[in-house]
Amino acid sequence: MRRSKQKRKTAETDIEIILNLDGSGSADIDTGIAIFDHMLTSLTRHGRLDLKVSAKGDLEVDEHHTIEDVGIVFGTALEKALGNKRGITRFGEATIPMDEALAQVALDLGGRSYLTLNARFMSQKVGDFPTQMTGHFF
């Protein structure tokens, strides 16, 4: 079974993620950032993953550390759950219309991290999520 449980504890955050790639879309997400919880739940449902996220962060300061560290731990959990990557296709791409957005994604699971984010946000925040943190998560 392709599963992983990862933890990260720093002076600013305490994160635990349990990921099952062969799940059914079950989500138990608590980051303290409502719209971030919603986005991770949507990822879980549409990706048919099982994902549990417990994140405690210094939200009284701002959302930066929590969002960034959830991204770090999620990436590690994904890497560990994929294991030797046997049986998966390395490359993928999709164009997805969702609400007012059109998302285009090209993905390479070859092991070298890189991100190009071409996004124009209409506001500085979506709910309680600072839009400039989008790149920090990915």
What is the reported pLDDT for 129?
Answer: 94
Q: pLDDT confidence of 110, banded at 50, 70, 90?
A: confident
What domains can you pick out in the chain, each with its CATH number? Answer: 3-137 (3.30.230.40)
Whether pTM > 0.75 for this model: the answer is: yes
pLDDT at 1 over 90: no
Q: Percentage of residues in the chain with pLDDT exceeding 90? A: 79
3-class DSSP string for the chain: CCEEEEEEECCCEEEEEEEECCCCCCEEEECCCHHHHHHHHHHHHHHCCEEEEEEEECCCCCCHHHHHHHHHHHHHHHHHHHCCCCCCCCEEEEEEEECCEEEEEEEECCCCCCCCCCCCCCCCEECCEEHHHHHHHC
Give the mean model confidence (pLDDT) for residues 71-99: 93
pLDDT at 44 over 90: yes
Q: Is the Cβ–Cβ distance between 82 and 88 less than 8 Å? A: yes
